[in-house]
Chains A and B, each alone.
Chain A
Amino acid sequence: MQTQTQTIRKAFRCAFPHTLPIFAGFWFLGLTYGIYMNVSGFPFWYPALMSLTIFAGSAEFVTVNLLLGAFHPLQALALTLMINARHLFYGISMLDKYKGTGWKKIYLIFGMCDESFSINYTARIPEDIDRSWFMFFVTLLNHLYWFSGATLGGIFGSLIHFNTEGLDFVMTAMFVVIFMEQWLKEKQHISSFIGLGCSVVCLSLFGADHFIVPSMIAIFVLLTCLRRPLEKGETVQ
């Protein structure tokens, strides 16, 4: 029999390596974000507070502009809903995985950023590891990386000079690997192609700042139309 502490410790040890690429990526992005806040004239506790409470990278970058502009709270809310609409699809995908995780569920949902979702969805968690603690630590570590990066960036601001050009590619590399992991697991690749295809088409049509919501709609419509053949494929193989 394992004691509770042993279970928790084992889950932490198992979860930690999965978060290492995110440590690199979040420190880089978090520092950048903190520095951006710093040079925009905000004291360090702004990025600290925002990284802790918002914990959604792209929304936080946009918030800097919102804070510098005129006071439009409803516009801020609407803009955030648009930027973060993709979380709705993450939630639908995690309904089952987050089931039965007890009190941790609230935090797992609160911290469901792109990276936490991707790791928690694809990770091959060994049988003897407690799933809910594993996912809890993935989320918590990601949250800590982002918070510490943003806070340090806010404190040291423009004092930081080191050549990190290209380090942001760590996030791209991680999502490529996650995409491949899913590819190797799935029986058919139609949905993967739909995701890539719709995003590329919408990116070229609507541009970098406005393609997420149209892509989501296109993905949603196509997957709904293809429900029958896709479900059949599930049961045949």
Chain B
Amino acid sequence: MTVFQQFIIIGMVVLGTVLTRFLPFLLFPAGKPTPKYIQYLGKVLPSAMFGMLVIYCLKNVSIFTGSHGIPELLAIFLVMALHMWKRQMLLSIAGGTLFYMLLVQWIL
């Protein structure tokens, strides 16, 4: 591939990404009232999306081979426990991550 062709490919990926991000805002502009159904989706979608993102992060964890997803499970429990205890975002995230690194580097 020539450098020019590579730029076209990169341009296509930019275009695709920008389209997925701008489309809802173009279809439902701020000046006009948003349809009730879309308003409803806007309210209920985030919870489902956050659930999907958690699974998305874990998509390459294999339950049947390697460490069977045990370090991930333990670390997620710690994140949840820390967050329920102090509800300090940074503490929960840092605690869980350090614990996970320890698990995969030293123990499992």
Contacts and interface: CB of A to CB of B under 8 A. Distances in A.
Contacts of B19: 81
A211 B44 contact: no
Given A21-B93, A88-B23, A93-B49, A54 B54 contact: no
Nearest to A183: B47
A166 B103 contact: yes
A189 interface: yes
Interface stretch (A6-14, A69-77, A127-135, A142-150): A69-77
Interface in A73-99: 73-74, 76-81, 84-96, 98-99
B17 interface: yes
A96 B39 CA distance: 9
Nearest to A227: B40
Interface residues of A, number: 95
A183 B84 CA distance: 12
B47 A50 contact: no
B42 A85 contact: no
A208 interface: yes
Nearest to A89: B45
B44 to A, nearest CB: 4
Contacts of B94: 21
A171 B1 CA distance: 34
A186 B56 contact: no
B50 to A, nearest CB: 4
Contact of B16 (A77, A110, A165, A200): A77
Contacts of A90: 21, 49
Interface of B is mostly: helix
A216 B17 CA distance: 17
Interface in A201-217: 203, 208, 211-212, 215-216
Contact of B104 (A91, A166, A197): A166
Contact of A172 (B8, B10, B48, B76): B76
Nearest to A117: B49
15 contacts: A76-B13, A80-B20, A84-B16, A85-B20, A87-B20, A87-B21, A92-B38, A95-B24, A176-B80, A177-B79, A177-B92, A192-B50, A195-B48, A195-B49, A223-B45
Interface of B: 1, 5-6, 8-10, 12-25, 28, 30, 34, 37-38, 40-60, 71-72, 75-76, 79-80, 83-84, 89-90, 92-94, 96-97, 100-105
Interface of A: 17-18, 20-21, 24, 49-50, 53-56, 59-60, 63, 66-67, 70-71, 73-74, 76-81, 84-96, 98-100, 105, 109-110, 112, 114, 117-118, 121-122, 163, 165-167, 169-183, 186, 189, 191-200, 203, 208, 211-212, 215-216, 219-220, 223, 227, 230-231, 234
